[in-house]
Structure 1
Amino acid sequence: MSGIANYTDDDIKTLSPREHIRLRPGMYIGKLGDGTAPDDGIYVLIKEVMDNSVDEFIMGAGKVIEITVEGKAVTIRDYGRGIPLKSLAAAVSEMNTGGKYGSAAFEKTVGLNGVGVKAVNMLSSEFMARSVRDGEAHTVHFAAGIQQDDIWESGVNERTGTLIRFVVDEEVFGEYSYNLEYVETLIKNYTYLNLGLTIKFNGQSYSSKNGLLDLLNENMTEEPLYEPIHLTGKDIEVAITHGTGYGESYFSFVNGQHTTQGGTHQSAFREAIAKTIREFYHKDYDASDIRTSIVAAISVKIFDPEFESQTKIKLSSKQMDKRQEDGPTVRNYIVDFLKEHLDNYLHKHPATADILGKKIVESEKERKAISGVQKKAREIAKKVSLNNKKLRDCRIHLGDKHARAEESMIFITEGNSASGSITKSRDANTQAVFSLRGKPLNCYGLTKKIVYENEEFNLLQAALNIEEDMDNLRYNKIIIATDADVDGMHIRLLLMTFFLQFFPDVIRSGHLYILQTPLFRVRNKKETRYCYSEEERLKAVDALGPNPEITRFKGLGEISADEFKEFIGEKMRLDKVRMTKDDPIHDLLEFYMGKNSMERQGFIIGNLRIEADYVEELI
């Protein structure tokens, strides 16, 4: 027993809310991050403040919100009712204090738990809140959640409303920077869901005239098969169309909150679409045939919604309004709405109904055509999964009810040497490794049959568990980890083509990443620096003095397991693979992955570049 540490009363500690938020920020904002991912904590903090301003608009107060991001300082000004002056300090600093606990002043809003803006305050090195009401103003300043001053003014010539300014604390978050594209996307989503609202971001105005129809048109990466169907009703709005590829893509919202992991409303929406379309055509179509290549959006408004966490990315509410015992469930409300309005739309627009019907029949034909090879491939995958030499799995997966489920990830690597280094250095709880034997097949222009005929693709699909849909995806991050050379880049392109062709919703949902690995190791006897670019290498050489040892990494297998821990741990650098309306996906794939070899050869020869200075330095 001598090796067991003593456990006494002195080990029991009670933390203040401020101390707890700063010690365990993930419980309140999901994760920290450095700003390279759209769900990093710095964007969640912006959203927490914006939610309050948007809630003011929802309640009919203030049609304009102004937001500026300058360096690390964020300022948000609304022209709503203004926080009641006497309660200002408590409203931004005392947990479980707010005006949204069953109050008639707020209905069907997002911020309900009295946590959001307090977390912003306590996780900021500088925080200022100012409320103006009818010429009276109250301003409070905080530093890391501790109040610094309290200023009252009268006779001010300012419009009623609230201003929040904060600088996220680097002591908690480490180094970070804002990607303004992510902030812009957040702002656009607010405007799509709140017609009449104008948001001015760094001087540019954003608003929407057509709601979810604008959102769908903005996010379609291909021409839709038919004009998007746009339906609105009390507390619900939907937009639906189909593309020509595979997968399903949904944008779902509750009270203006983007529920990126869906929930009861999104599940009901998917069910209702299949049910309504079956009944319209009077045919028992398979749901997968109906929803293949669908791109759709749904927004619902619920009284006092329940989410699975403070980050509010998955709805768990069953009732539209918990106050009404006999009121409709979320599922019934959505099913009934589509049964009436989608059915009516298809009857009134026979051209759309005809295109949709043909699309479903084509999907059905393809599914049946590959059913034989699909069955055989599933049997093989099932047998191999018991002893899958390509997969070194982790213990915790995305669908698990575990605090670290969001951390789950899988590295797709090339060859045994690369996978060996990652496998030895990974966190076996949350990091899995899938090893390719070499370059995968170029699948551009092929049908989904190839996913079942090609052993590697079939095993990868099985490892990710995405054959049917995204609901059972086993890893939050799918990370392509290839060598930093020409062959590695080629494998990266081949894998991206695989996902773009057959599982685009993996990319649309933000799950696909590229692992950045260091190109150089620069060291002397006292210090070692890893550099991810030529610029970083030059800085390291200057910093470490004369004649440092410089190693150029070409393959992941050259990096020892001990070194690799640093590159896939807290300091891991990832590039998210993104799809936007402005990306000519089809044209890019056709040029880089198509059969136009001579055209590509001419492009490569015409764009060769030799870095003379670098070559001379190495010589």
Structure 2
Amino acid sequence: MLENTQYTEDNIRSLDWKEHIRMRPGMYIGKLGDGSSADDGIYILLKEVIDNCIDEFVMGSGKTIEIGIRDNVVNVRDYGRGIPLGKVVDVVSKMNTGGKYDSRAFKKSVGLNGVGTKAVNALSSFFKVESSRENKLKTAEFTQGNLVAENEPEDTTRRKGTKVSFIPDEEIFKKYKYRNEYVERMLKNYVYLNPGLTIIFNGEKFHSENGLKDLLEDNNSLDDMAYPIIHLKGEDIEVAITHSKTQYSEEYHSFVNGQNTTQGGTHQAAFREAIVKTVRDYYGKSYEASDIRKSIISAIAIKVMEPVFESQTKTKLGSTEMGGELPTVRTYINDFVGTQLDNFLHKNPDTAEKLQRKIMQAERERKELSGIRKLARDRAKKASLHNKKLRDCRVHLGDSKNERCLESTLFITEGDSASGSITKSRDVNTQAVFSLRGKPLNSYGMTKKIVYENEEFNLLQAALNIEESIEDLRYNKIVIATDADVDGMHIRLLLITFFLQFFPELIKENHLFILQTPLFRVRNKKNTYYCYSNEEKQEAMEKVGSNPEITRFKGLGEISPDEFKHFIGQDIRLEPVMLDKSMSIESLLEFYMGKNTPDRQEFIINNLRVELDLIEDI
């Protein structure tokens, strides 16, 4: 029988604003992470500060934003109106305080909860805000949300505007680092959505004049587009549409009030529906929706009054209303696309003809695949009943109401020994394991038919739930976990080829990663260190002192489950797979996976590095 415990006033405790944010950071910025993923908390902190600068630009004040990140010190400077000097401290340290509650000033703001910079302040070991307006400068400094220094407004010649400097707290964000690739992508989205805005990041300038049209052009090769980009703009909506010649699946970039809704939502669903309806009406044919949308590359941005998102990090729109006297989101988008896309196709018959050819090509390919696709689906259904390849988890990316959905991860492993270690040490709630048998096929140059004919590719596609599009992707992170030897590297390359060939948007949307596992274990009777490089091994040997025991791990199967839990838990190290925008996917695959052996041999010879210390340890 449970012992009775006293329940008195002493049991009741009220947390102040900063304590609550620091105790429950996930409520405010989503998951924490170390910076290896684009949705990690350190990028949300940066975004919250930039959002305020964007709101100033939208209100017609300040056309330039300057951002610097060096040694994890972040500086963001705008040339807007500046925070009212008497409210500088309150705006960054009092919950539910901000100008965005006054809808006259911020009708369709990015954020409306009055939390943004307060969360940044509370989760930073150093936070400084400087506001200059009316030739006066007001400064305040904080540590973990506590005010440590404040000056009275003083005379200044500094241009009006606000500067925020902060360092994410290492007590909250463990071993983190900002990756410029993720920051640059975020900043590019800001300029696409705000034509005329200039953002300078570490000296590099980002600017756009053509909005979402520039987004599609910068992210895709013009040679791969089946027809010129269709670019349509209205008062509260902008869309850009084209189709890829080579890509199989659908690709959408969607935004609400400047927020990149990576998980889509009501606006994206309405956009997909509107394209199908308009195309059917224009051509007077009842084409299959999948044929119309196959290979589409598109973007949509809308502005909504007081949007409702399905999570604090605003990655999925839940609103059904545009706000005010406007119709629903669905009706508004259907009406706009129905009118404007139809008008465009009537005025541009050459584009209309190319679009129809693309749809008819998709129709032919679907019919050619229909027989084998049915067989493959039947095989996948049977296999799923006793599928030893997939050991699933409980929480998936689509479970947007579960706060851990962004942690959902699928490890792709080679062989039973490696998958066994991960399976025994994984978090069964958020981590799933898919086990490969041997080396997968080199899928370069093959058609989608191979995905259905090859059992492993078909089962992997089914496990990820990405046959039609990545909108129903079941895992936020797909992690390739192979041995750190030649065979492991080859399997890694073959898997990346598979994703690039058939599902490139998984890489474009930052879902694919490489698991970093330790190469060495250095220990004595008191301490154990796991080392991921020769440099870390040397540091560990110095810490351990004389006669260290050094183990070299050649494969994942050599690492015991008890040890493995350290490498896929809180301290997991992931290397994101990113695309180099200077090279198209086709040319990338042709060079590395095609038959240009002499060119590739020359490249390998010219870039060969020999790690002598590593070889000696092996």
- Specify the alignment match of 2:442 in structure 1: 442
| d(CA) in 1 for partners of 2:247, 2:286 | 22
- Specify the alignment match of 2:240 in structure 1: 239
1:95 Cα offset (Å): 0.6
The one-letter amino acid of 2:548's match is P
**Alignment partner of 1:223 is 2:227:** no
Q: Go from structure 1 to structure 2 and tell me whether the alpha carbon gap of 1:53 and 1:610 turns closer, same or farther (over 3 Å shift).
A: closer
1:471 Cα offset (Å): 2.1
| d(CA) in 1 for partners of 2:609, 2:133 | 62
1:614 Cα offset (Å): 4.7
- Specify the alignment match of 2:209 in structure 1: 209
Q: How far does the alpha carbon of each residue in 1:429-455 deviate from its partner, in whole angstroms, 9 at most, with x for none?
A: 111111111111222111111111111
- Specify the alignment match of 1:508 in structure 2: 508
- The TM-score normalised by the length of structure 1 is 0.95
| d(CA) in 2 for partners of 1:5, 1:361 | 73
1:117 Cα offset (Å): 0.6
1:512 Cα offset (Å): 1.2
1:416 Cα offset (Å): 0.7
Q: Go from structure 1 to structure 2 and tell me whether the alpha carbon gap of 1:469 and 1:584 turns closer, same or farther (over 3 Å shift).
A: closer
Q: Which moved more, 1:419-428 or 1:388-397?
A: 388-397
> Is the partner of 1:427 in helix, strand or coil?
coil
| d(CA) in 2 for partners of 1:97, 1:609 | 56
Q: Which moved more, 1:581-590 or 1:396-405?
A: 581-590
- Specify the alignment match of 1:110 in structure 2: 110
**Alignment partner of 1:372 is 2:374:** no
| d(CA) in 1 for partners of 2:612, 2:50 | 50
**Alignment partner of 1:360 is 2:359:** yes
1:200 Cα offset (Å): 2.1
Given that 2:129 and 2:163 are in contact with CA atoms closer than 8 Å, whether structure 1 keeps it comes out as: yes
Given that 1:78 and 1:162 are in contact with CA atoms closer than 8 Å, whether structure 2 keeps it comes out as: yes
Q: Go from structure 1 to structure 2 and tell me whether the alpha carbon gap of 1:11 and 1:464 turns closer, same or farther (over 3 Å shift).
A: farther
Q: How far does the alpha carbon of each residue in 1:451-496 deviate from its partner, in whole angstroms, 9 at most, with x for none?
A: 1111111111111111122222111111111111111111111111
1:331 Cα offset (Å): 1.2
Q: How far does the alpha carbon of each residue in 1:99-144 deviate from its partner, in whole angstroms, 9 at most, with x for none?
A: 2124301111112100001001111111112222212332222111
- Specify the alignment match of 2:199 in structure 1: 199
1:157 Cα offset (Å): 1.7
> Is the partner of 2:285 in helix, strand or coil?
coil
1:600 Cα offset (Å): 5.0
Q: How far does the alpha carbon of each residue in 1:4-26 deviate from its partner, in whole angstroms, 9 at most, with x for none?
A: 79574455433222111001111
- The TM-score normalised by the length of structure 2 is 0.95
The one-letter amino acid of 1:339's match is G
**Alignment partner of 1:351 is 2:350:** yes
The one-letter amino acid of 1:500's match is L
| d(CA) in 2 for partners of 1:487, 1:121 | 47
Q: Which moved more, 1:180-189 or 1:512-521?
A: 180-189
| d(CA) in 1 for partners of 2:365, 2:109 | 44
Q: Go from structure 1 to structure 2 and tell me whether the alpha carbon gap of 1:65 and 1:618 turns closer, same or farther (over 3 Å shift).
A: closer
1:276 Cα offset (Å): 1.1
1:568 Cα offset (Å): 0.3
Q: How far does the alpha carbon of each residue in 1:546-575 deviate from its partner, in whole angstroms, 9 at most, with x for none?
A: 332222211111110001001100111111
Q: How far does the alpha carbon of each residue in 1:595-614 deviate from its partner, in whole angstroms, 9 at most, with x for none?
A: 45676567657766544455
The one-letter amino acid of 1:395's match is R
- Specify the alignment match of 1:581 in structure 2: 581
- Specify the alignment match of 1:122 in structure 2: 122
The one-letter amino acid of 2:497's match is T
- Specify the alignment match of 2:381 in structure 1: 382
RMSD of the TM alignment (CA)? 2.0
- Specify the alignment match of 2:395 in structure 1: 396
1:261 Cα offset (Å): 1.2
Given that 2:264 and 2:471 are in contact with CA atoms closer than 8 Å, whether structure 1 keeps it comes out as: no
| d(CA) in 2 for partners of 1:587, 1:192 | 27
The one-letter amino acid of 1:140's match is A
Q: Go from structure 1 to structure 2 and tell me whether the alpha carbon gap of 1:79 and 1:606 turns closer, same or farther (over 3 Å shift).
A: closer
- Specify the alignment match of 2:336 in structure 1: 337
- Specify the alignment match of 1:16 in structure 2: 16
1:55 Cα offset (Å): 0.3
The one-letter amino acid of 1:270's match is R
Which aligned pairs between 1:455-474 and structure 2 lie closer than 5 A?
Answer: 455-474=455-474
The one-letter amino acid of 1:149's match is A
1:70 Cα offset (Å): 2.6
Q: Go from structure 1 to structure 2 and tell me whether the alpha carbon gap of 1:467 and 1:157 turns closer, same or farther (over 3 Å shift).
A: same
The one-letter amino acid of 2:460's match is L
| d(CA) in 1 for partners of 2:462, 2:544 | 47
> Is the partner of 2:340 in helix, strand or coil?
helix
**Alignment partner of 1:284 is 2:286:** yes
> Is the partner of 2:429 in helix, strand or coil?
coil
Given that 1:425 and 1:564 are in contact with CA atoms closer than 8 Å, whether structure 2 keeps it comes out as: yes
| d(CA) in 1 for partners of 2:315, 2:97 | 23
| d(CA) in 2 for partners of 1:579, 1:456 | 25
Given that 2:83 and 2:162 are in contact with CA atoms closer than 8 Å, whether structure 1 keeps it comes out as: yes
Given that 1:134 and 1:159 are in contact with CA atoms closer than 8 Å, whether structure 2 keeps it comes out as: no
Q: How many residues align?
A: 614
Q: Go from structure 1 to structure 2 and tell me whether the alpha carbon gap of 1:81 and 1:436 turns closer, same or farther (over 3 Å shift).
A: same
Q: How far does the alpha carbon of each residue in 1:206-247 deviate from its partner, in whole angstroms, 9 at most, with x for none?
A: 221111111111111563122111111111111111112211
Which aligned pairs between 1:298-309 and structure 2 lie closer than 5 A?
Answer: 298-309=300-311
| d(CA) in 1 for partners of 2:337, 2:6 | 59
| d(CA) in 1 for partners of 2:88, 2:265 | 34
| d(CA) in 2 for partners of 1:287, 1:259 | 23
The one-letter amino acid of 1:291's match is R
**Alignment partner of 1:319 is 2:321:** yes
Given that 2:31 and 2:406 are in contact with CA atoms closer than 8 Å, whether structure 1 keeps it comes out as: no
Given that 1:249 and 1:508 are in contact with CA atoms closer than 8 Å, whether structure 2 keeps it comes out as: no
Q: How far does the alpha carbon of each residue in 1:278-315 deviate from its partner, in whole angstroms, 9 at most, with x for none?
A: 11111111111111111111111112211122211111
| d(CA) in 2 for partners of 1:355, 1:287 | 17
The one-letter amino acid of 2:349's match is P
Which aligned pairs between 1:91-170 and structure 2 lie closer than 5 A?
Answer: 91-170=91-170
| d(CA) in 1 for partners of 2:270, 2:258 | 18
| d(CA) in 2 for partners of 1:588, 1:180 | 22
| d(CA) in 2 for partners of 1:65, 1:606 | 41
Q: How far does the alpha carbon of each residue in 1:364-413 deviate from its partner, in whole angstroms, 9 at most, with x for none?
A: 11111110111111112112212211111111111123121111111111
Q: Go from structure 1 to structure 2 and tell me whether the alpha carbon gap of 1:614 and 1:140 turns closer, same or farther (over 3 Å shift).
A: closer
The one-letter amino acid of 1:228's match is I
Percent of pairs identical after alignment? Answer: 63
1:343 Cα offset (Å): 1.3
| d(CA) in 1 for partners of 2:320, 2:583 | 38
Q: Which moved more, 1:485-494 or 1:573-582?
A: 573-582
- Specify the alignment match of 1:594 in structure 2: 594
- Specify the alignment match of 2:412 in structure 1: 412
Q: Which moved more, 1:203-212 or 1:256-265?
A: 203-212
- Specify the alignment match of 2:264 in structure 1: 262
Q: Go from structure 1 to structure 2 and tell me whether the alpha carbon gap of 1:592 and 1:499 turns closer, same or farther (over 3 Å shift).
A: same
The one-letter amino acid of 1:39's match is D
The one-letter amino acid of 2:25's match is P
| d(CA) in 1 for partners of 2:448, 2:617 | 47
